[in-house]
Amino acid sequence: MFTVPETHFHFGGDEYIFAEISKDMSAESNFKALAITKELRSRQIPGVLDICPANASYLVRFNPDIISAYDLLDYLKEIDILKSNPSELNLSIRIVEIPIWYDDPITQEYSRRFKDRHTEPHLTNFEFVMKINGFQHKETFIEAHTSMPYLISMIGFNPGTAWEFPLGVPLEQVIQTPKYISPRTDTPRQAVGLGGAFTVIYPVPGPGSYQLIGISAVPVFHKDEQLEDFKHSLFLARPGDLWKHRSITESEYYSICREVEQGTYRFRMKEVEFSPEEYFRRGRPYILELMEGF
């Protein structure tokens, strides 16, 4: 049985309560943050304006004219006690497939454009990530990045940016990498980046410091809403979901891009009930069981 971290609460001025579950990201603290914020939304407490979950914490904004800080804190502590029981952390989530063209010429070009901001300017970002993680062959690296799903631990920064944290992988096998010395001033839309242990798909063009290892054929932010899977939200990611990367060829990439442009593409998804308690008891076999038939 795993231990759920203890939460520490802090007031932020007159309108915010910050709940710190742990100082470092862990699946345990993230599952607790997701479960608490889900419960808090379901209660629809008068005066609560915004609920923002993060990797190992969450922030609540409230109207002090409607609910006092101390009354809200009592609610949060009550929910925190409830969600400190591992059996109370279960989530209804989706497994979502993300097709990625790894080591593609688009992100290779960005590696070259911004090489002066990199610790090893003679390498592409993809080559750099392989090197520091001890991979000798491109195929082996891609297999490692696509073999197990990633937990959407939080959403933020740019619209639709989702932080993906690896599940079902021993800590010593987690792919990790430092970021750029100085951020790029530009990153292509749908580029796939690695920073620390997190994978991110850039939803829109903009600055960035994650190492670029490929490009997604599908959007994660879709303001035009012509795709069926974006009818209810501009954003693909939902906190708690699992994203499974699939390696695709150049021809597959452009074929999927055409489907997206025509508005006919449908994401491959599977809805499942996820038990963090079962995950920490069984690990990788539990994840593989959830993914059967996917």
What is the predicted pLDDT for the residue at 28?
87
Q: What is the largest CA-CA distance in the chain?
A: 61
For the chain, the structural domain boundaries read: 8-85, 92-290
pLDDT in tens, 17-45: 999 998 888 888 899 999 999 999 999 99
Q: Is the pLDDT at 101 greater than 90, yes or no?
A: yes
Instruction: Round to whole Å and give the CA distance between 224 and 232.
Output: 12
Q: How many C-beta neighbours within 10 Å does residue 13 have?
A: 8
Rounded to the nearest 10°, the torsion over CA 225, 229, 231, 234 is -60
Q: Which residue in the block uniquely carries the two structure tokens 């940016």?
A: 161
Bridging pattern class, strands 191-195 and 211-216 = antiparallel
pLDDT in the model for residue 3: 67
Q: Pick the closest to residue 76 from 111, 109, 33, 118 (CA basis).
A: 33
Contacts 24+ apart (CB under 8 A), 52-55: 52/156, 53/154, 53/239, 54/154, 54/156, 55/25, 55/29, 55/30, 55/153, 55/154, 55/163, 55/165
- pLDDT for residue 294: 82
Residue 262 confidence (pLDDT) = 94
To 5 degrees, how large is the angle CA 159–CA 164–CA 169?
180
Express each pLDDT in 164-174 by its tens digit: 999 999 888 99
Look up the CATH number of domain 8-85.
3.30.1360.40
Question: Which segments within the chain are labelled E, that is strand?
Answer: 8-12, 16-20, 48-53, 57-62, 91-102, 150-155, 162-166, 191-195, 198-201, 211-216, 242-247, 269-274
Asked if residue 225 has pLDDT above 80, the reply is: no
Specify the pairing of strand 91-102 against strand 242-247.
parallel
For residue 56, the 8-state DSSP code is S
Query: In this structure, what are the phi and psi dihedrals at residue 150, rounded to the nearest 5 degrees?
Result: -115, 140
- pLDDT higher than 80, residue 4: no
Question: If pLDDT is split at 50, 70 and 90, which confidence band does 84 have?
Answer: confident
pLDDT value of residue 6:
83
In the chain, the percentage of residues whose pLDDT exceeds 90 is 85
At 154 the three-state DSSP class reads strand
Whether the CB-CB separation of 80 and 21 falls below 8 Å is answered with: no
Which overall architecture, per CATH, does domain 92-290 show? Beta Barrel (2.40)
pLDDT-derived band of residue 1, with 50, 70 and 90 as boundaries? Answer: low
pLDDT band at 195 (very low <50, low <70, confident <90, very high): very high
What's the rounded Cα separation, in Å, for the pair 164 and 139?
21
The distance in angstroms from the start CA to the end CA of the chain is: 28
pLDDT > 70 in the chain, percent: 99
Residue 216: closest CA among 174, 253, 266: 253
Query: Please, which residues have CB within 8 angstroms of residue 232's CB and are 6 or more apart in sequence?
Result: none
pTM of the predicted structure, to 2 decimals: 0.91
Q: Indicate the pLDDT class of residue 145, thresholds 50, 70 and 90.
A: very high
| DSSP conformational letter for 119 | S
Quote the pLDDT of residue 2. 61
